[in-house]
Homo-oligomer: A and B are copies of this chain.
């Protein structure tokens, strides 16, 4: 079955997705009956590609690998070198699915939220790895999708392509989630791991994380817990049907954790982790992000380096923990494919 796909944004995640679609095209077609066609791309920096016939992936990947503007895909059409306004692109394309892959603005969730609404109102499924719309407007966007018989899917917003939402939907449906508790930020987990395992102090470990590309030049979003905070809000609102806002979550980062504290914990058979957590307390949900000392028997304690992990405490299955990559070009690109395959495979039935 063919799916026409429009992409907003063609940076790291978008290019990871295109690579996977190319590399796996035979498997996707033969084993899953899934035949994606890239019919439109618009990117602020790289310009626009409109290819109603479906882009030739090797040719497109070559243009991108050479660092060229998307206009180079079809040299006769100079207009393509400018970025088409995504709202216009959504309006004009007959895509079945829009992959919204722009940057996260956690304060406004814009312009991504406008793009998503436009897509859902013009009959297109939406798949995104952008944390903004999912953290600020999940319920509204999911309702809009449902009203239009469409899906709004967000696997890549938490733990990149490691299954979290699809794990619950497909394998734990019917359970009530009493608590979510996770290591949702790879950068801080990498820093804490280096402090404990190699005796680095915090500034040294942070510097290494920056050198390796795990942390940004301004590391605030990671080390002060804002990234994990957005993710725990998303998890709570999707898996626990909460209505949390960012300001409802207590937040503390890891910058105040000293090497002495890490060593002291180790002596007690414990380990510091930046834990994002939300727990049902009567009618309320209490959520927090902050460093915790975990006993080594906690399934989250063994998660080292840039890996992420999440424990769901459920009424029927008890605690179920999933561990895997939390970031990465191919891993986040895969989250987009994974959501598209869910759209392909499953349409929720209601009698």
Contact = CB atoms under 8 A, between A and B. Distances in A.
A4 B27 CA distance: 35
A174 B299 contact: no
A334 interface: yes
B33 A349 contact: yes
Pick from A33, A163, A346 the residue with the most CB of B within 10 Å: A163
Closest 4 CB pairs of A and B: A163-B171, A170-B170, A302-B302, A1-B351
Interface string A193-222: 000000000000000000000000000000
A301 interface: yes
A161 B316 contact: yes
A32 B162 contact: no
A24 B344 CA distance: 28
Contact of A317 (B162, B172, B297, B299): B162
Contacts of A161: 316-317
A296 interface: yes
B297 A337 contact: no
A4 B350 CA distance: 16
A338 interface: yes
A90 B167 CA distance: 32
Given A171-B170, A337-B174, A349-B33, A324 B325 contact: no
B299 A302 contact: yes
Contact of A318 (B24, B35, B302, B325): B325
A321 B324 contact: yes
A57 interface: no
Contact of A323 (B172, B296, B299, B301): B299
Interface string A310-340: 0000001111111111000011001001100
Identical chains bound together, number: 2
Determine chain A's interface SS by DSSP, over half rule: mixed
Contacts of A348: 33, 345
Given A163-B167, A346-B346, A174 B32 contact: yes
A341 B173 contact: yes
Contacts of A349: 1, 33, 344-345
A261 interface: no
A227 to B, nearest CB: 20
A338 B172 contact: yes
Interface of A: 1-2, 20, 24, 27-28, 32-33, 35, 155, 161-163, 166-167, 169-176, 296-299, 301-304, 316-325, 330-331, 334, 337-338, 341-342, 344-346, 348-351
B322 A334 contact: no
B316 A334 contact: yes
Nearest to A169: B170
A162 B302 contact: no
Contact of A297 (B28, B298, B302, B341): B302
A225 B96 CA distance: 49
Contact of A162 (B174, B320, B342): B320
Given A167-B171, A322-B322, 14 more contacts: A1-B350, A1-B351, A24-B174, A24-B316, A163-B320, A170-B342, A173-B341, A299-B303, A316-B331, A318-B331, A319-B324, A320-B323, A321-B322, A321-B324
Nearest to A348: B345
Nearest to A297: B304
A275 to B, nearest CB: 16
